[in-house]
Structure 1
Amino acid sequence: MPPSRRNDVRVRTVGVEEELLVVDPAGTPVPLGPEALEVASRRGEGETPEEHELGGDAEGSTGHLVPELKRQQLELGTAVCSELGQVDRQLRSWRGRADAAARAVGARVAALASSPVAVAPEPTPGRRYGRMEETFGLLARDQLTCGCHVHVSVADDEEGVAVLDRIRVWLPVLTALSANSPFWLGADSGYASYRSQEWSRWPSAGAAEPFGDAAGYHRLVEDLVATGTIVDAGQVYFDARLSRSWPTVEVRVADVALRVADAVTLAGLVRALVDTAAEEWRAGTAVPAVRAEVLRVAAWRAGRSGTSGDLVHPRTGRPAPAADVVGALLAHLGPALEATGDRQRVADGVAAVLDRGTGAELQRRVHRRTGDLAAVVRAAADLTLA
C-alpha cells in the first residue's frame, strides 16, 4: 500500500461531512451557495466552485467548506477528530462558519435532507457537475438532497474492505435513526427519509454484495467506471465505501441531522461499527450471509418509516419494532463503545432520538402546527445552529 493509505488505528479517528441547504430568511432555498463560498474563500475557510474544480486543497485534516451539486447547497467537513467531544465542537464551529458565509450574502443554512418547499434546483457551475447533468438528465437535475457522511480511519484497504463486508447489514438502522426528509419539493412524501429513496435512483448507489478483499473491491470499482456509465470513481455511491483520498471507510446512508447532537451520535455509532467489524475480521468471524437484495428492502423500509414503525432486523431478516432493532445495534456495539468511552453518550443520544423522534417527525410537527412548509425551513435553520 502507498504510505498515504496506511494508518495508525490505535484510536480510530472520525470526520464528518454534512451537506446543507442555503435558504433565504423567509424559508425558501436560494441559489447563493457559490456566493457564500466566495465569502468563505476570502476568509480562508473554503473553496469557490472554480477552485474546487481545479482540485483545491480545502478538504483534509483541518475542515472545509466546499460546493455541492446544486447552487442551493454547500458542504462542510470537520477536521479529523479522535473523540466525540471534538466532533461536537467541530460541527458547531463549521455550521456557524457556513451560516456566517451565507448571511453575508443575505441567506442562512438549514440542515434539511430535502427541501420542504417547491424550488427549481440550479446546477453549480463546473465541468464535472455539467457532465453529471448531461449524462443523467432529469435524475441529476432533480437531485437536491443533503446527506451526512462519516469517515472512520482504518489501517489499510484490506481492513477497510473487511469492515465494509461486515457493517452492511446494520446500515439501514442508521438511515432510520437519521431520517430528516419527509417533504419533497412542496409535498409530504409519505417517507421519513425521502432523500434515501431519491438517492437510490443513481445507478451505482445502494447496498453491494461482499467484496471479499481489497483487490475485489478495487476491481469492481474499475469495472463500474469501465462501463462508461458513471462519470468517475467518485460516483461509486455504495452505502459505504473506501475513501479515494484518505485511509478511511466512508458511511453514506444518513440524512443530514437537524441537531448537532444527533450527528455526533451517528458518528459514535459508525466508529463503533468499524471497530466491531475490524475485531470480527481479526477473530475470523464470517461475513453475514445476507444478500444485497434483502439489504435494499431493509433500506427502503428504514426510509419509509424511520423509527416510527418496524424495521428489518439484521439478524433475522424479519420485521421488528424499531426500538428493538436499535437496541440490538447498541448491544452489538457495546464492547467497542465501552473501549472508546462513548457508551453512555451514544446510548443517551439514541434514547433521545427514540423519545422525541427523528428530524422527520419534528418537521411534520411544525407543519401540523403552522400549516406552512416555509415555517418548517425556518425552524430547521434555527435548530441547525442551536
Structure 2
Amino acid sequence: MRTFGVEEELLLIDPESGFITPRVPELLSLDTRTAPGLELVAELQLEQIEVITPVHTDLKELAADIVAGRSLADGLASRLGARVAALATPVLPFTPHLSPVSRVQTMTERFGMTAQEQLTCACHVHVGVSSPEEGVAVLDRIRNWLPVLSALSANSPFWQGVDTGYASYRTQSLYRWPMGGPAEIYGSAGSYRQSVKAMLGTGVPLDEAMLYLDARLSRNYPTVEIRVADVCLHPDDTVLIAALCRALVDTAAREWQSGVPPVPVPAAVLRLAAWRASRSGITGELLDPVTASARPAGAVLEQFLNHVRFALAENGDEEHTEVLLNRLHRRGTGAQQQRLALQQGNALHDVVTAAIDVSHCASSLQGDAA
C-alpha cells in the first residue's frame, strides 16, 4: 500500500480581534516535542505555521495525526494568547510580515509585491512512488484531474476583508507567481529533469523549491507532491483530499504500467479548468477532465470517483471516502461555510470565530464526529 503524508499551512490568529498575528517565531521557540512524529515549521510569512504529519499507510492513523497536528499548533499558540485556524486566506484586512531570513529577503527583492502580499495556506499531499520514472508517469496522468481536488478543498472566499466572488481566491493569488500552475506532459523522467533545469536556467526562480507547480516530484522524498488544495477548514476534508490523492496516484501508476497514455489536455486549458474550480468550487460547473467541456460539478465529481474507485477499494478507503464526501456535501466546503457564518453573524469577525472552532473538530474517522 502506498504511503502518504500531509503538510497543512495554518494561520495564527488573535482571537479577540480576529486579525492575524505575526508570532510564529515565538510559537516555535516553545517546546514542540509534545506530539512525537509531528513537525512544525515556519513559512514565508510570520503569521503562518506549517504542520507536517508522519508518513502513513492507514487513513485513520493519518486522520488522527491531522487532528493532533492542529491541536499541537493551537496549544502552543494558546500559550501566547493566540489561536490557529485552517483558513486558506485571512478573512479580515491584513498586512503580512515576511520571515526575516536571507532567502525570503532575496525573494522579496526579486518578486516585489507578489512576495510581500503572498499569504495563502495550502494543503500539500505527498504520495509515495517507487522511482522517478513512475513519479513522472503519475504526474502526466493526474494533471487533468487536479482541478477537481481544488474545487473540493475551496476555502478562501475572502481577501483583505472583501468577498472576492471566488471559492478559492488562494488559487488566484498563487498563480501570480510565474512558476505556478499546471505543466505540460513530460513523457519521461529525463524530460522532467530537463524541464526543471530549463526553468532554473532562466534565473527567475531562486531554486527548485520555488517551482510552485500544481504537482511535482519531491526534492527530498520518493514522493509525488500534490499542491493544488487549499488548507481545508474541517479536518475531515483534509482526510478526504489525502485519500483521493493516494487513489489518484495509484490509478495513474496502474495506467502507466498498462500502457494507457496520458490524456493530452494542454496546460493552457488546465489553467482554465483551475480557474473554473477556483471561481465556484463544487457549486457551479467544472471542466470535464477528459473532454475539457463544462459540466455540472456534481457530474464531474462522480466521474472523478469512478476514475479512482478501484484504488479506493484496494486501499480500504472506499467506504470512508463516501462518508467524508457526504459530510462535505452536507455542510459545504470551507468557502461555503465561511460565507454562511457571515450571513448568520453579519460580521467578518464571526467568520473567524467560527473558523477557529471548525478547524479543531474531531475527525469522523475517530468516532462519531459532526
Matched, 1:89 2:64: yes
Residue number in structure 1 paired with 2:270: 295
- What is the Cα deviation at residue 120 of structure 1? 0.4
One of 345, 348, 357 as aligned partner of 2:332: 357
The alignment yields a C-alpha RMSD, in angstroms, of: 1.2
The alignment of Structure 1 onto Structure 2 pairs a total of residues equal to: 360
For 2:12 and 2:245, the matched residues in 1 are separated by 27
Once residues 162 and 271 of structure 1 are traced to their aligned partners in structure 2, the CA distance between those partners, rounded to angstroms, is 15
1:237-386 to 2 correspondences below 5 Å = 237-386=212-361
Give the structure 1 partner of residue 147 of structure 2.
172
Residue 11 of structure 2: aligned partner? 21
CA contact (8 A) 2:32 2:40 kept: no
Structure 2 spans left out of the alignment, 5+ residues? 362-370
Q: Using the TM superposition, give the Cα deviation of residue 131 of structure 1 relative to its aligned residue in structure 2, in angstroms.
A: 1.1
Gaps of 5+ in 1: 1-10, 47-60
Matched residue, 1:74 = 49
- Determine the C-alpha separation between the residues in 1 that align with 2:79 and 2:188: 48
> What amino acid is the match of 2:11?
L
TM-score, L = length of structure 1: 0.92
Give the 5 Å matches for 1:88-107. 88-107=63-82
Give the partner amino acid of 1:31.
P
Candidates 182, 185, 188, aligned match of 1:213: 188
Q: Deviations over 1:191-231 (max 9, x none)?
A: 00000110011111000001111111111111111111111
2:265 touches 2:290 (CA, 8 Å); kept in 1?
no
The amino acid of 1:125's aligned partner reads P
- What's the CA shift for 1:43? 3.5
Q: Give identity over the alignment, percent.
A: 48
Q: Determine if contact 1:67/1:75 at 8 Å carries over to the other structure.
A: yes
**CA offset digits 1:319-355 (Å, max 9, x no partner):** 1111110000000001101101101111221222223
Measure, in 2, the Cα distance between the counterparts of 1:327 and 1:37.
42
1:37-56 pair list within 5 angstroms: 37-39=28-30, 42-44=31-33
For residue 370 of structure 1, report the CA deviation from its aligned partner: 1.4
State the 1:82 CA deviation: 0.7
| Deviation digits for residues 342-375 of structure 1 (CA, Å, limit 9, x no counterpart) | 0111122122222321100000011111121121
Distance 1:74 1:290 in 2: 35
Query: Residue type of the partner of 2:27?
Result: A
Q: Distance in 1 between matches of 2:32 and 2:326?
A: 39
TM-score, normalised by the number of residues in structure 2: 0.96
State how far apart, in whole Å, the 1-side matches of 2:330 and 2:69 are. Answer: 28
Residues 310 and 322 of structure 1 are in contact (CA less than 8 Å); yes or no, is this contact kept in structure 2? yes
Counterpart CA distance in 1 for 2:94 and 2:161 is 8
